[in-house]
């Protein structure tokens, strides 16, 4: 019975460890499903719009951008509940406050872009900042997006980010030359990373992100504990982006398989260990009371006694 409880405890510990490791994956899959449903509804709304309606949305965005005198941002992660104007909320609002979708091929990130509001703050969602350019598909423009990043570990579970909200993870892995793609209505805007820097909240406020007359830029900000990660990118053509992605796919194919093997091996080994434990538990569960180690000792003594009798008999016959 003691062995059974020991194996059971070991099994529970392994199960808890696997749950600890696999929760972020399961949570991210759930988040991906929710985001996919949001974007599905967004695309359905876009599909029934005619060309004039879509053009009108982009013109409203261009008019909004023309009224911006400069682009200076506050730290939206500590600024409290967002308070944005109704005029802003109504522009580029195709479905439930969603402006479009951000795709980052390097990190495998695909997230809906919301208007910054009390319902969808930057602490929880990827949002567009009201003080910056809306995606009007024309220069001058600097679209500023902000969303949750990896927070400082708090307790045992904090370091893996146990949350249902999807984050801008691995944004720090982006380097100059990487791509960020913004899908808005039926248009695709591609930007190439030019710079990434880490700033304090105070340093973020000092930045002047106002675009020049010919600038067409995208800026993405995420939170890293008490620091802010800022990635800036310049727009390029879709044809150029397609060429870069094809070259990158060919270069990273071997690395992808290495990653799969590295991630899959621990799971396979853990599964084999669990199966071994289950078989051991089954084996011991079939023993009757009195069987086990004590029964083995008695069997050994009986065998020794039988050998002794056999030896004595043989010696007597020789005599």
Spatial contact of 182 and 101, defined as CB atoms under 8 Å apart: yes
pLDDT of residue 251: 52
Q: Measuring CA to CA, which residue among 103, 127, 102, 96 is closest to residue 114?
A: 127
Using 70 as the pLDDT threshold, list the residues of the chain that sit under it.
Answer: 1-8, 10-11, 15-29, 31, 150-166, 249-267, 278-303, 305-319
- Dist CA 311 CA 319 (whole Å): 13
The helix or strand, by DSSP H or E, that contains position 266, with its residue range, turns out to be: helix 238-285
pLDDT of residue 280: 66
pLDDT of residue 53: 94
**With 0-12 CB in 10 A as exposed, 13-18 as middle and 19+ as buried, what is 285?**
exposed
- pTM for the full predicted model: 0.69
pLDDT of residue 245: 83
Q: Chain centroid to CA 196: how far? A: 20
pLDDT of residue 269: 72
Domains of the chain: 2-252 (2.40.260.10), 264-318 (no CATH)
- Dist CA 37 CA 41 (whole Å): 6
Q: Which two tokens stand for residue 227?
A: 């620091």
């Amino acid at each position: 019975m003691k062995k059974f409880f020991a194996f059971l405890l070991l099994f529970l510990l392994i199960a808890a460890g696997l749950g600890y490791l696999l929760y972020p994956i399961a949570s991210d899959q759930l988040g991906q499903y929710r985001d996919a449903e949001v974007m599905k509804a967004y695309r359905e709304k876009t599909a029934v719009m005619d060309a004039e309606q879509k053009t009108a949305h982009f013109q409203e965005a261009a008019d909004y951008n023309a009224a911006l005198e400069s682009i200076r941002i506050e730290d939206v992660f500590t600024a409290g509940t967002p308070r944005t104007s109704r005029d802003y909320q109504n522009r580029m609002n195709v479905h439930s406050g969603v402006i479009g979708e951000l795709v980052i091929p390097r990190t495998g990130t695909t997230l809906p872009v919301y208007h910054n509001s009390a319902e969808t703050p930057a602490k929880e969602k990827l949002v567009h900042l009201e003080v910056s350019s809306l995606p009007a598909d024309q220069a001058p423009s600097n679209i500023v997006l902000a969303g949750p990043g990896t927070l400082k570990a708090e307790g045992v579970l904090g370091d893996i980010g146990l949350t249902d909200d999807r984050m801008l993870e691995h944004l720090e892995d982006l380097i100059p030359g990487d791509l960020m793609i913004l899908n808005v209505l039926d248009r695709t805007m591609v930007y190439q990373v030019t710079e990434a820097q880490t700033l304090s909240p105070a340093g973020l406020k000092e930045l002047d992100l106002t675009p020049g007359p010919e600038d067409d830029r995208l800026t993405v900000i995420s939170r890293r504990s008490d620091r802010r990660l800022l990635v800036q990118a310049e727009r390029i053509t879709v044809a150029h982006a397609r060429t870069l992605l094809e070259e990158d796919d060919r270069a990273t194919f071997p690395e992808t398989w290495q990653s799969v093997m590295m991630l899959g091996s621990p799971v396979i080994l853990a599964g084999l260990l669990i199966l071994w434990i289950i078989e051991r538990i089954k084996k011991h569960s079939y023993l009757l009371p009195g069987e086990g180690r004590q029964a083995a000792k008695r069997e050994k003594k009986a065998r020794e006694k039988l050998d002794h009798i056999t030896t004595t008999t043989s010696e007597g016959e020789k005599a």
